[in-house]
Chain A
Amino acid sequence: MNYIEEQEYTKRFDLGLWKHLLKYAKPYTKQLILLAFIMILAGGVDVVFPLMTRYAIDNFIIPDKLEGLPLYALVYGLLVALQGFNTWALIMIAGRIEVDLVYDIRKTGFKRLQELSFSYYDKTPVGWIMARMTSDSQRLGESISWGLVDLTWGFAMMTGIVIIMFVLNWKLALISLSVIPFLAAVSLFFQSRILKGYRQVRKTNSRITGAFNEGIMGAKTTKTLVLEERNLEEFKVLTSDMRSSSIRVAVFSSIFYPIVSALGGIGTALALWYGGSGVIAQSISYGTLVAFITYTIQFFEPISQLARIFAELQSAQASAERVLSMIDTPLEIEDPPEIKAVYGDVFNPKRENWEPIKGDVTFRNVSFSYKDGETVLENFNLEVKSGETIALVGETGSGKSTIVNLICRFYEPTQGEILIDGIDYRKRSQLWLQSNLGYVLQTPHLFSGTIRDNIRYGNLSATDEDIEAAARLVNADSFIRKLEKGYDTEVGEGGSRLSTGQKQLISFARAVVANPKIFVLDEATSSIDTETEQIIQNAIQKVLEGRTSFIIAHRLSTIRSADRILVIVDGKVIEEGTHRQLIKKRGYYYRLYTNQFMEEEEARIMRRNKSY
């Protein structure tokens, strides 16, 4: 799968956001302090090496003496070992912080995703969430740990260099470093332009990905409408943009980097001139001169990296914004603390306090509207006795699904209340209701794993016998046994290795092991062959026995066998009764029924024809 990242880049440094991020870094305070310490140490050692060279020059080479050279070699070796250790420790700590941070963010994010209400999932494409949970959190962890390492190390080294230069010879230091103001000005000028360029490049890049996406998805349409040239023209505009903005960034960088090194060169030249004269006048040692020359080169290295680091941190900021906004999405349905205290939450349920459920469902003056103000239900009333089968019929958008979502408490009424066994369901936990609920979807969703795992999903403590009994009940047993590995057959990602009918049966079996008191079925409209349909119908009848059932019904056979049919139009029940009663009425249901009858029969004829 490919997840197209949408990229909106915020321009300014957002302090609040970084503060917020620090919250996630808090558990790592100790490691971060240790890391900072090691970075300062590493920067320090980097600065000491030129001093070692200076010592060698002033104590061995110039006086032509060799005493103490073995000891010197030993010290040098120790410094090398120390720096080697620093590198090791640095990568270990920073790497671990990175990995742990990503782990934490994903863990928190996933937990949040398990709690977020359906309204969130309705508006948010899966790809969008995937991008946040995968690439964004990865980038966040990476840039925070390594970006900060680079910054701190560079800063520590530069500070160290300045200090030592001033200690060695403050006049020479002042002269050598006199280019810094120019450096600052040049950096400011170029960095901001390079950063802006990077942003532009990234934006165009995501548009190119989008264009490829469209070009490939829409290829068939393109062909029939002969849009090839037009699309290519539009695409070429994007790639040309990409080329010119990339080149622009490259040009800015290739001016900036040599300017920095040229400024460094001027520093070196100044050190050579003034320092060299000092050596001639014997006011400065050879070693000091060489050390200064080395420092002036070393000092400017981190600076040329700055633009890259800032660009990374900036894209980390954009990632952070996206990840945090997901994690901080407020929950629309949340059990209040007093209910959590009794019933527990989704991660730690207190099942011992749960009342048994009977299965009466009552809607009392229920209204529901979406956030954007669109009203779906108004003053809806419904009384369902335990064990009844209710068929909901109506066109797409009539409010059937909303009613079912409300029963499942995927949404809550905006007004009025829904009673389960006579008590407002908000007085109990969500999990209490949902654990007593069976739900089979229009398009059955299976998880990768074996068939057995998938059926057990309904009841984690089900034995193998329970699972097979459930499969037998819904007539899935025979086809499962015919598979090579029987119940241990892998269903493939999303159940891709099974037919829709087979998946449907497995999802029924899953609902049966759960043994729910309330059962919700969103019936599939897609046509399956007649034989499978018969099997599924039988399965449905068995599953419904002894349970309160709500069916968003499409198939006539299901509708006909319901205890009560509710015809929903614009969120209102306009007709209600048994199949016969409603047919006699010759009203809305009658029309709906005749249309559906035609379509089913047509489909049946088409299928029958296909088979010979």
Chain B
Amino acid sequence: MKRMKILFSYMQGNRLVYIGAILCVIISAFAAMIPSLIIQFAVDSVIGGKDAQLPSFLHNLINRIGGMVFIRKNLWVLGLCLIAVYLFNFLFVFLRGKWSAKASESIAKRLRDRLFEHLQNLPYDYHVKAETGDLIQRCTSDVETIRRFLAVQLVEVGRALFMLTGALIIMLSLDVRMTLLSLIVVPLIFGFSLVFFMKVQKAFLQADEAEGRLSNTLQENLTGVRVVRAFGRQAFETEKFDSRNVEYRDLSYKLVRILAVYWAVSDSIALLQIGIVVVVGAFLAARGEITLGTLLVFFSYVNMLLWPIRQLGRILSDMGKTLVSVGRIQEILDQEEETQDPGCIMPPIAGDIVFDNVSFEYEKGRPVLKNISFEVKQGQTIAILGPTGSGKSSLIHLLQRLYDYTEGSITIGGVELKKIDKKWLRRNIGVVLQEPFLFSKTIRENIGIAKRSVTDREIYEASRIAAVHTFVEDFEQGYETPVGERGVTLSGGQKQRVAIARTLIPDTSILIFDDSLSAVDTETDAAIRKELRKRSKDVTTFIISHRIATLSEADKILVLEDGRLVQSGTHDELINQPGLYQRIWSIQSSLEQELMDNSQPAF
């Protein structure tokens, strides 16, 4: 029920259109009843000459145009009435189609937009842990399930119900006995289809699972193709796949058998119902208890009703699926978006950066950073060194407020970081991640993405500094080369270089490189760093790196271990202190020792 409410809330803003669509469904469902009545009138009263029981206004109308005699001579009048009904119906069928599409498509669009926006505004942490495949599944097929339900199935349910009501009223007014007889199988067929579709869910599920196993086997084979070939296991793999393929095939057969029985039985019941109407109707009509026209009305209504009722069971069991989809989508939407205190300001982001006794934990009781304090003057280059998991990345994540520190204070130019608007902050601090994501656009678009109306000159300049230019020239389409699925695949180092160029474009006064030159070869690394130094003296730069050449050039080196700042200082200071930095530096001397050993003649 809660999910029903949620589903209803998705319809907000489009409810009026949707209600309009449903009104049209009602009208057209009733309109669809009329042609049979006209035919009844034609057969019984006009052609058969029996007295018609008509509402008085129709009676008057007929008398005015010349009475039964006139209609009898001019049967085209009734034909025109038929056509008029169809044209009237045309309008409402059209409006129903248009409005229900408009409502359901708008609902789907809003849902998609909302999901996309929401996902983007979820905290950084969510995306670190997110399962991409599952999320995409929810955003696409679950939205589609809901859309289809709203656009087609719900409307169908409405139509079937109103038709049933309308037909029931008319039929009852014509003949009670025949009505009961005509609808005798309706509960049966409805119950049958409902129970049936609930029951076969299991068979569907089994087939789905078998299909999952089939595609897993396939996927394992494809990703392990080298192993398969190297051991010459093609025949073995083919057998394995075949057994999955057979399993899925046999379960599908089972479904086919079940469905065949269902449709055959429900078809037979429906046809039998029509048969009962025809035979008993003929019996009653022959005895003069009902007219031929009445029989025809029953006959066509039964025809009209049975089909939607058989579908109803399926639709209702599909509704379960829709509600599951609603639940899966709502799970995403219920995740809390990134928030910040009101009253955040947008000061110029420049000046000295001061960490004062900063602690941070992702989960309560498991601190990642402990009591970190240090100062950075504007324009300095800070190198951060530390083992994996020591908290280096967390430290710089704090600067962009991707996470908020739990204790202590960080100030930039004297302003407390938590008072600064998150987006403003991020816009003014450039970060290059270790594994940057490039969008499937051209290289030019990727580089210029962080700034609107970017000029070619800015792009070329950033590309030159980040050494993008050197490899882009080799591409046939140069900067217009698309990246990603439909374009070239860039190497890890090339991606990092494009990401650096992209971050340079907004011209921020703080730059952070999160081990983002790790895949670039040492010479290019050096060249990029040289260009960066030339570029601006006032830019404060943080670099996470293991490379001694990078570290040694920094104004200050911070050494993190296990969430603590254990050492800080310049290269010259740190090589004289025992610690991580010294040990890294000493590799060089142990290398020389090693080479000496190897150069000795073997004994």
Contacts and interface: CB of A to CB of B under 8 A. Distances in A.
Contacts of B602: 580
Given A87-B264, A208-B140, A219 B219 contact: no
A266 B230 CA distance: 71
A269 B234 contact: no
A25 interface: no
Interface string B192-232: 00000000000000000001001110111111111111111
Contacts of A590: 595
Contact of A230 (B230, B242, B260, B449): B449
The 3 A-B residue pairs with the shortest CB-CB distance in the complex, in nearest-first order:
A254-B97, A250-B101, A95-B256
A81 B269 CA distance: 10
A609 B561 contact: yes
Contact of B229 (A88, A410, A494): A410
A231 B120 contact: yes
B93 A258 contact: yes
A280 B599 contact: no
A80 B587 contact: no
Contacts of B305: none
B82 A235 contact: no
B206 to A, nearest CB: 14
A280 B35 contact: no
A103 B136 CA distance: 28
Interface stretch (A105-113, A310-318, A466-474, A531-539): A105-113
Nearest to B151: A250
Given A268-B35, A584-B599, A225 B503 contact: yes
Given A243-B106, A276-B47, A66 B286 contact: yes
A441 B35 CA distance: 74
Given A56-B278, A220-B433, A262-B87, A212 B136 contact: yes
Given A216-B127, A579-B598, A514 B97 contact: no
B133 A1 contact: yes
Interface in A407-436: 408, 410, 431, 434-435
Interface in A110-157: 110-111, 113-115, 118, 121, 125-126, 129-130, 133-134
A2 B229 contact: no
What size tier do the contact residues of chain B reach?
A: 35 or more
B113 A110 contact: no
Interface string B96-126: 1110111001101100110111011110100
A134 B102 CA distance: 33
Contacts of A62: 292
B39 A293 contact: yes
B62 interface: no
Nearest to A219: B127
A541 interface: no
B181 to A, nearest CB: 14
A341 interface: no
Given A61-B282, A457-B227, 11 more contacts: A64-B286, A65-B286, A87-B264, A215-B120, A223-B402, A235-B112, A240-B109, A250-B105, A266-B83, A510-B231, A602-B546
A605 to B, nearest CB: 5
A73 B220 contact: no
Contacts of A66: 283, 286-287
A236 interface: yes
B230 A247 contact: no
B357 interface: no
B97 A251 contact: yes
Contact of A439 (B226, B255, B584): B226
Interface in A312-349: 346-349
Interface in B77-99: 78-80, 82-83, 85-87, 89-90, 93-98
Contacts of B439: 214, 218
Nearest to B270: A80
Interface stretch (A360-368, A569-577, A591-599): A591-599
Interface string A394-409: 0010000000000010
B116 A235 contact: yes
Interface string B465-489: 0000000000000000000010000
B460 to A, nearest CB: 20
Interface in B546-599: 546, 548, 561-562, 580, 583-584, 587-588, 590-591, 594-595, 598-599
B257 interface: yes
B587 A598 contact: yes
B314 interface: no
A307 interface: no
B229 A408 contact: yes
B234 A221 contact: no
